[in-house]
Amino acid sequence: MRPLLEQLVLRRTFRLPAPIGPSGDGAGLAGRLDSALLTAGFTLSGELLRHLSGLSPEVVGPVARRTLATVGELVGDHVRHNVYFKDFPAGVPDTAEFWHRCLTEALADDRARPGVQAQLRDGVLNLLDLPSYGVHGHTYDEMLAAHDELIASAGDRITVIHLGGPLEEELSALYLSLASSPVPLGEDGLEELRLLAGRCARGPQPETFPVRENRAVVNAVRAAAGQELLLDTVTDVLRLACALSGASVTLQEPVRFRSLRRPLRRALLAGLDRVV
């Protein structure tokens, strides 16, 4: 579980929870990690580089692999994305020019011509049916070669990965940050908040929840764990009931409430009694 939580903190904060393990000479691996990160626009802070250098290679190796994997996901390196136009953002044709070219190529294609001509006679042409639409005019490797100059020009944009504190401290800080976020978190963010709420249930809790959905997620976890609920209004209780029923907590759609276990019902009623 530690590796997954460590990657979560790194992905969200660009801080690496302080790796622990026996001392040793990890300078070589730490230096190679930093060099690899630089190719993706990241670098280790001096403090983090020194910390890793003082650990044994057996500790630094796995940390380096996880760090590179996390950074790779951040920059989209885990997906081979081939842009439609090789020189993008340059070389993108005018819309009318693009479709004119697709139509011209279709009329020059013996197999596509009859169907296109039939549509034209009917007065309605489905542009998405044109054979050259959606087909890359270049390979993935050709696109990479064309973008070499873009990679060079991005050399001044470097993200620094800092040395964090102990894992539990970093998790607590991230939990408080997500829970008190002033903007909605999205599905992935809410899943991360749910995970952290369970991990940090006995630690410090947010003073406020600007986004009510965040409060509902946290309270659902706390209710399941038998922890005191963090409720301010009757609406908070309603959102919690929705969350415990596996329904949306946005209150934007009808909800079929489940029959809850007695401890959960008691917790809901006690919370309701406290806020009315």
Q: For each of the chain's 276 residues, which pLDDT tens digit applies? A: 788 999 999 999 999 999 999 999 999 999 999 988 888 888 899 899 999 999 999 999 999 999 999 998 887 654 455 556 656 556 667 888 888 888 898 899 888 889 888 888 888 888 888 888 777 666 756 665 655 555 455 445 788 999 999 999 999 999 999 999 999 888 889 999 999 999 998 889 998 899 888 999 999 999 888 888 888 889 888 888 888 888 888 788 888 888 888 888 888 888 888 887
Location of structure tokens 């070389």: 91
pLDDT for 232: 86
Residue 243, judged by CB atoms within 10 A of its CB (0-12, 13-18, 19+), counts as buried
Element (H, E) at 119: helix 113-122
Query: Can you say whether the dihedral through the CA atoms of 118, 122, 127, 129 is positive or negative?
Result: negative
Which pLDDT belongs to residue 26? 92
Tell me if the pTM is above 0.75.
no
In the chain, the amino acid numbered 247 is A
Element (H, E) at 44: strand 42-44
Give the three-class secondary structure for 138. Answer: coil
- With tokens 């983090």, the residue in question is 48
The DSSP letter of residue 183 is S
Beta carbons of 191 and 164 less than 8 angstroms apart: no
Q: List Cβ neighbours of 171 (8 Å cut-off, separation of 6 or more).
A: 5, 9, 17, 196, 199, 200
Q: What's the pLDDT at 83?
A: 55
Local structure of 55: helix, strand or coil: strand
Instruction: Map out the domains of the chain as residue ranges.
Output: 1-81+149-164, 83-137, 166-276
Cis peptide before 3 (omega within 30 of 0): no
Classified as helix, coil or strand, 73 is helix
